[in-house]
Amino acid sequence: MKAVDIIKNGLVKENPTWVLILGMCPTLATTSSAVNGMCMGLATAFVLMMSNIVISLLKSLIPDKVRIPAFIVVIATFVTIVQMVMQAYLPDLYDTLGLFIPLIVVNCIVLGRAEAFASKNNVWHSLLDGLFMGLGFTWALTLIGLVREMLGAGAIFGHNFIGGNDGMLLFILAPGGFLVLGFLMALVRRIQNKA
Amino acid sequence: MLLSLTLIAVVAAFALAFVSKVTEEPIAQAQQAKKEAAVKAVLPAFEKLEEAEIDGTSCTKAFDAQGQMVGMAIEAKSTKGFGGDLVAMVGFDADGNISGYQILQTAETPGLGAKAGDWFQEGSKGNVIGKNPATPLQVSKDGGDVDAISGSTITSRAFCDLINNAYQIFQKGGIE
């Protein structure tokens, strides 16, 4: 497998949000604004990359029967490290994202890539897969967050453009998240099918 | 099988213990700095601060150069929030007028109740700065004069409750 294929898979062809449809819980929960979506995506990308590297390194060491608990321990360790480091050195970002960081553990993209990719491929390819799957997740979340923030709060990345603070609240709340996700997914798939 | 899983868990435990040790102090410092910044933001001009504890709530009294008390910041809580407890630093001047507030912890709905951080500030629709909670604050729906956040009456009620709680503590320890 070539590196360029892995990059394409993560960003477009097998994009975790639009195509694999994995990790919908954080996708809906954190995209009430573009910044939140982006930060959540980047934090997930970091965890995904680190856990892919470690699991790829350990793959011959982990017996098949206990691979899932072993993967989860590795993933949870990295998530906890990210959480503590963020709380210590980036307290402002932690205030915005604090609630969602532990959610990364249960994000099935991370476990999914460990199982489907890192446990079968070498370290370099696993690193690339983790990084670009993570970035694919990041751009999807940023886009959903951007649309929801524009419709729901009348702002782009926190910059208000309609004046006043009343947007269509529906889009900030959970039902709006489902609506935007569905419509964007249809749009992205349509563009993909044409290309 | 048993061995490799144990090994992974042990290594993970050591890694976490190490990171926890390293970040323990910066986390405490960051939280302390956040609290101090909130205290300064909600109080009127002052020269000297003094920590106090009233009814188990941590407060900070502010004095001017002559040692006269000019205000008090109280870390108040309301359990009536929509998503959980609402915690804020509330500042009063010597007469008990609200001089400022800053939300410290909230679990309110993003886009609705989470607006409480700005909504009740000076110049916004629900401005409470300068009000005196000697007559307890209430949202207009309940007959008070505080404009509730549109779509978030419960959060707004919790906010009034929080200010009133803070005022009770101010009355116990603020007037000397």
Q: Residues with Cβ < 8 Å from B36, sequence gap 6 or more?
A: none
Q: Is residue B146 part of a domain?
A: yes
Rounded CA separation A140/A136 (Å): 6
Within 13 Å, how many C-alpha atoms sit on residue A89's CB side?
A: 10
Q: Where are the alpha helices (DSSP H) in chain A?
A: 3-8, 24-30, 34-58, 67-89, 91-97, 108-113, 123-153, 174-194
Q: Please, which pLDDT band fits residue A165 given cuts at 50, 70 and 90?
A: low
Residues A41-77 have pLDDT tens digits of 998 999 999 999 999 998 888 888 888 889 999 999 9
Rounded CA separation B51/B57 (Å): 11
Q: Is residue B73 part of a domain?
A: yes
Residues A7-45 have pLDDT tens digits of 888 888 889 889 888 888 888 888 888 888 898 899 899
Torsions phi, psi for A190 (to 5 deg): -65, -45
What pLDDT is attached to residue A92? 79
- Interfacial B residues in 89-108 facing A (CB < 8 Å): 107
Q: Is-contact B19 A85, C-beta < 8 A? A: yes
What pLDDT is attached to residue A79? 92
Q: Is residue B154 part of a domain?
A: yes
Question: Which among A61, A77, A91 has the least Cβ separation from residue B15?
Answer: A77
Q: Is residue B45 part of a domain?
A: yes
- Indicate yes or no: CB of A66 within 8 angstroms of CB of B111: no
Partners of A114 on chain B (C-beta within 8 Å) are: none
Torsions phi, psi for A153 (to 5 deg): -125, -5
Query: Is the pLDDT score of A164 beyond 70?
Result: no
* Percent over 90 (pLDDT), chain B: 16
Count up the domains in chain B and report the number.
Answer: 1
Complex-level ipTM: 0.72
- Indicate yes or no: CB of B16 within 8 angstroms of CB of A70: no
Place of tokens 């401005």: B127
What pLDDT is attached to residue A53? 94
Partners of A73 on chain B (C-beta within 8 Å) are: 5, 8-9, 12
A34 compared with A97, residue with greater pLDDT: A34
What pLDDT is attached to residue A124? 93
- Work out the minimum CA distance from B173 to partner chain A, whole angstroms: 31
What pLDDT is attached to residue B175? 52
Residues B43-96 have pLDDT tens digits of 888 877 877 777 777 788 888 888 788 888 888 889 988 888 888 899 888 888
Residue range(s) defining the domain that contains residue B165: 38-173
- Indicate yes or no: CB of B1 within 8 angstroms of CB of A85: no
Question: Which among A88, A167, A172 has the least Cβ separation from residue B30?
Answer: A88
Torsions phi, psi for B101 (to 5 deg): -150, 155
Tokens found for residue A169: 């609240």
Residues A169-180 have pLDDT tens digits of 888 888 999 999
Q: Is residue B113 part of a domain?
A: yes
B107: closest CA among B163, B158, B59, B39?
B158
Within 13 Å, how many C-alpha atoms sit on residue A144's CB side?
A: 37
The DSSP call for residue B47 is S
Residues B130-141 have pLDDT tens digits of 888 888 888 888
Question: How many residues are given for chain A?
Answer: 195
Q: Please, which pLDDT band fits residue A99 given cuts at 50, 70 and 90?
A: confident
Q: Is-contact B148 B139, C-beta < 8 A? A: yes
Rounded CA separation B108/B124 (Å): 19
Q: Is residue B130 part of a domain?
A: yes
Residues in chain A whose Cβ is within 8 Å of chain B: 32-33, 58, 61-63, 65-66, 69-70, 73-74, 76-77, 80-81, 84-85, 87-89, 91, 99, 152-153, 165-167, 169, 172-173
Q: Is residue B72 part of a domain?
A: yes
Query: Is the pLDDT score of A162 beyond 80?
Result: no
Torsion sign, CA atoms B104, B107, B111, B115: negative
Q: Is residue B30 part of a domain?
A: no
